Chains A and B, each alone.
Chain A
Amino acid sequence: MSERHIRGGLSKTTAALIALPLALLMLVAFVWPLVGFVSTSVLDPAPTLAHYEKLFTSALYMRVLASTVVTAFVVTVAALVLGYPIAILMSRLRGPAAWIVTTCVLVPLWTPVLVRTYAWIIILQRQGIVNDALISLGMIGRPLTMLYTTGAVVVAMTQVLMPFMILPIQSSLRSIPKELPQAAHGLGASHFRVFANVTWPLSLPGVMAGCLMVFIIALGFYITPAILGGPRAQTISTLISQQAFELLNWPFASAISVVLLVLTLGIAAVFRRMLRVEGMSLHA
């Protein structure tokens, strides 16, 4: 053991020195608070698992937890279904058209989430664009309530998170040599079978990466659900914020945070395993 240490000594020291600033930053900004709220969740006021018990035995909180996961799942699927065709478009276009589509995908990414979320209020409110349009088309008589529903949260989150789905898929589509679909087509596959047998399987690494990112971000998303969801469409993150800042129940907020963290890490691990299996059959 010590031998190995000595042999790798120099490069390890160098590597450690280079990584030191980042490690310090992680320590101060992430690990320390993490340790803080993990210990708060089990030590406050005395060593106890009561906060977790409260969370897992309360039907209300479990419903919020479940609905958060379901919302994240629906958002992920919606972003995939809507984003994949756009990614295909981006990977095929050349010249100014490609530039325009890419900008349309990226601009939302550079716009603060808050701004985009308020834009959705303008669109979805009672005198908003959607209601006005539907009424003037005569499709509805009275304005619909769209704001402060889970539906509004899903729609807005899908829009906000879409670039995280499109970009990795697009990059994985671009890396497919154009001879591959061509060869498949020439060997007798229809356009649909070219997609099903070649394009789709070869884009899976991008799909996995996109889904993972969107799902994880969606799980812990705060701003959009907080603004568009209202009190009825609560999510884990709005619950944490409510417990911490309104009810000042820090130990309970910490316990929920720990659960969210474990959930996220678990899902990331599952995806990593799937990616690795996928990557093996592709490149090994």
Chain B
Amino acid sequence: MSPSSLGEGGSAALSLRNLVKRYGKVTATDSVSLDVEAGEFVSLLGPSGSGKTTLLMLLAGFETADSGEIRLHGRDISRVPPNKRDIGMVFQRYALFPHMTVAQNVAFPLRMRGVAKAEQERRVKAALDMVELREHLDRVPAQLSGGQQQRVALARAIVFEPGILLMDEPLGALDKKLRKHMQVELTELQHRLKATVIYVTHDQEEALAMSSRVAIINEGRIEQLSTPRDLYDRPASPFVGDFIGDINLFDAKVEEMQSGACAVATPFGRLLGTPVGPAALAPGAAVRVGVRPERLSVDERPTGGVAPAHPATIRHTIFNGNNVAVHMTMADGQELWATVSPNDPEANLPRGATVHVSAAPQDVFVFPAGAA
């Protein structure tokens, strides 16, 4: 809307500004802004009902936003009907036309665009080659396996070379092994085509494995948008920390602020941590503290490092092959999980043994309370 946002929108393949969609009292899309560069693979990751599908429906044009702007390669498409948007979409249950053969399904978008017959055939073949489906062109979808149907849906979405490709949990209906296989194939295909992809999933492993960036969606809002690595190392909120990987979360109060670090008082003692987010924390402020299990040090006796160490009692340990999960209770009853190497002496401690728990300040995230 402002000249500067228009300028920004011009360079991105897809650019969303303050997109809002309400269903009665539910705000399914809550002021979403997002810029996607050409050739990027961006995942929308979030729990069920967080608004991922709604956002895709807004992009594809099957739903109309209450306010906000959608730009595709600089063109405002907010009021453009779906058939004029130049967007390819793969639906969760594929949405193949059951009364058409594989070849007819893939040719459909070309036929709707008035592409000549010979050219249609050539491009259908090329698209099916791309997804490695060369047989069964004259079968109807019901005669194909789930993985094959998936490929047809993909071929149909890329055959007309759309400006952007949307996928709503495209692998959700496949079994685990095939899903892993298709993840690799999809990523390779995306690289080959240099396609811009918006990919919806609620499987965090899938999102981390495939995406250049991941948008964590919660209650219609983008909670954080970043690279998989960054989401894990620097979660913007307890929700993100909890959603990506495992994290110990508990309440605390700010005791004292230092430059770039702060001391917090927890019911089991004092910890040094790193404040997250732009908001300044005042002493006495309620905060939520998060530590990844593998960043907790567990030692039989205090090591005397700079980080404060606190006694804990081991409840049980779980052998996971490449690590051992240690379940502990702190002095006040707070439960914590840590993971240690199977070779550590602490990995073999009996139930009831006392250990000392500490963490480096940069590994202790201090979130302002009130952030979800």
Q: Does B10 contact A (CB under 8 A)?
A: no
Q: Which residue of B lies closest to A201 (CB)?
A: B99
Contact A281 B140 (CB under 8 A): yes
Give every chain B residue within 8 A of A190 (Cβ-Cβ). Answer: 83
B61 within 8 A of A: yes
Evaluate contact between A281 and B99: CB separation under 8 angstroms: yes
B97 engages A180 (CB within 8 Å):
yes
> Interface 1/0s, chain A 157-185, versus B by CB < 8 A?
00000000000000000000101101111
| Residue of B83, B93, B156 ringed by the most chain A CB atoms within 10 A | B83
> Which chain B residue lies CB-closest to A188?
B112
Interchain nearest-CB distance for A284 vs B (Å)? 7
Total number of A residues with any Cβ neighbor in B under 8 Å: 21
**Cβ-based interface call for B318 (8 A):** no
Number of A-B contacts (CB under 8 A): 66
How many angstroms between the C-alpha atoms of A179 and B95 in the bound complex?
A: 6
- Cα A185 to Cα B57 in complex, Å, equals 12
Confirm or deny: A115 has a beta carbon within 8 angstroms of a beta carbon on chain B: no
Residues of chain A contacted by B140 (CB below 8 angstroms)? 281-282, 284
Are B109's CB and A188's CB within 8 A?
yes
In Å, the complex CA distance between A194 and B175 comes to 32
Bound: A210/B283 CA distance, A: 76
Residue A186 is within 8 A (CB to CB) of chain B in the complex: yes
Contact A186 B61, CB 8 Å, known A180-B95, A198-B97: yes
Query: Is residue B85 contacting chain A, with contact meaning CB distance below 8 A?
Result: yes
Whether B142 lies near A188 (C-beta < 8 A) is no
Q: Which residues of chain A have C-beta atoms less than 8 A from B85's C-beta?
A: 186
A179-B93, A187-B112 as given contacts; A283 in contact with B98, CB under 8 Å: yes
- The smallest beta-carbon distance between B169 and chain A, in angstroms, is 12
A193 within 8 A of B: yes
Interface status of B62 (Cβ within 8 A of chain A): yes
Q: In the bound complex, do residue B62 and residue A182 qualify as a contact, i.e. CB atoms below 8 Å apart?
A: yes
Is A90 in the interface zone, CB < 8 Å from B? no
- When the two chains form their complex, are residues A183 and B112 in contact, meaning their CB atoms are under 8 A apart? no
A85-131 with Cβ < 8 A to chain B: none
Chain B residues, CB < 8 A from A281 = 99, 140
The answer to whether B95 and A188 have CB atoms under 8 Å apart is no
Enumerate chain B residues within 8 angstroms of A207, measured Cβ to Cβ: none
Give the distance in Å from the alpha carbon of A183 to the alpha carbon of B89 in the complex. Answer: 7
B156: nearest chain-A partner, CB-CB: A187
Question: Is B143 located at the chain interface by the 8 A CB criterion?
Answer: yes
Known: A193-B112, A283-B142, A284-B140. A186 touches B97 (CB 8 A): no
> With a CB–CB cut-off of 8 A, which chain B residues contact A201?
99
CA gap between A184 and B157 in the complex, in Å: 11
B87 at the interface (CB under 8 A from A): yes
CA distance A183 to B83 in the complex (A): 9
Chain B residue, CB-CB nearest to A190 = B83
- Which residues of A have CB within 8 Å of B216? none
A183–chain B nearest beta-carbon distance, Å: 4
Give, as a whole number of angstroms, the nearest-CB distance from B155 to chain A: 12
Q: How far is the CB of B170 from chain A (nearest CB, A)?
A: 13
- B365 on the interface (CB 8 Å rule)? no
A281-B140, A284-B142 known; A188-B83 Cβ under 8 A = yes
Given contact pairs A189-B83, A284-B142, A284-B143, A184 touches B108 in the complex (Cβ within 8 A): yes
Q: Name the contact of B95 in the complex, choosing from A182, A193, A197, A202 (C-beta under 8 A).
A: A182
Q: Give the docked Cα–Cα distance between A58 and B61 (Å).
A: 64
Tell me the interface secondary structure of chain A in the complex.
Answer: helix
Residues of A with C-beta under 8 A to B95: 177, 179-180, 182-183
CB contact under 8 A between A179 and B91, given known A187-B160, A281-B99: yes
Residue pair A186, B99 in contact (C-beta under 8 Å): no
Inter-chain contact B87/A186, CB cutoff 8 Å: yes
Tell me the complex Cα distance, A274–B144, Å. Answer: 25
- CB neighbours (8 Å) of B88 from chain A are 187
Contact with A along B142-167 (1 / 0, CB 8 A): 11000000000000110010000000
Tell me which of A177, A180, A185 contacts B82 (CB under 8 A): A185
- Interface digits, B249-272 against A, CB 8 Å rule (1 contact, 0 not)? 000000000000000000000000
User: Whole-angstrom distance from the CB of B123 to the nearest CB of chain A?
Assistant: 14
Q: Which residues of B contact A202 (CB under 8 A)?
A: 98-99
B215 at the binding interface (Cβ < 8 Å): no
Given A184-B97, A202-B98, A281-B140, A189 and B62 contact (CB-CB distance below 8 Å)? no
Asked if B181 lies at the interface with its beta carbon under 8 angstroms from chain A, I say: no
Question: Which residues does chain A contribute within 8 Å of B81, judged by CB atoms?
Answer: 185
Q: A193-B112, A281-B140, A284-B140 are in contact. Are A186 and B89 (CB under 8 A)?
A: yes
Q: In the bound complex, how far is the Cα of B352 from the Cα of A125, in angstroms? A: 98
Closest to A179 in B: B95
Closest beta carbon of chain A to B356's beta carbon, Å:
56
B113 within 8 A of A: yes
| B312 lies within 8 A of chain A by Cβ | no
Q: How far is the CA of A233 from the CA of B62 in the complex (A)?
A: 52
A186 and B82: CB pair below 8 A?
yes
Chain A, 11-67, CB within 8 A of any chain B CB: none
Question: What residues on B are CB-neighbors of A189 within 8 Å?
Answer: 83, 108, 112
Verify if B298 is at the interface (C-beta below 8 Å from A).
no
How near does chain B come to A189, taking the closest CB pair, in angstroms? 5
Q: Which residue of B lies closest to A204 (CB)?
A: B99
Is A187 within 8 A of B99, CB to CB? no
- 7 CB contacts below 8 A, A to B, read A179-B95, A180-B97, A185-B81, A187-B108, A188-B112, A202-B99, A283-B98
Q: Which 6 A-B pairs have the closest CB atoms?
A: A188-B112, A179-B95, A183-B95, A187-B109, A186-B82, A185-B82
Q: Which residues of A contact B (CB under 8 A)?
A: 177, 179-180, 182-190, 193, 197-198, 201-202, 281-284
- 15 new A-B contacts, CB < 8 A, other than A188-B83, A284-B140, are A182-B60, A182-B62, A182-B82, A183-B89, A183-B97, A185-B62, A185-B83, A186-B62, A186-B85, A186-B89, A187-B83, A187-B88, A197-B108, A198-B97, A283-B142
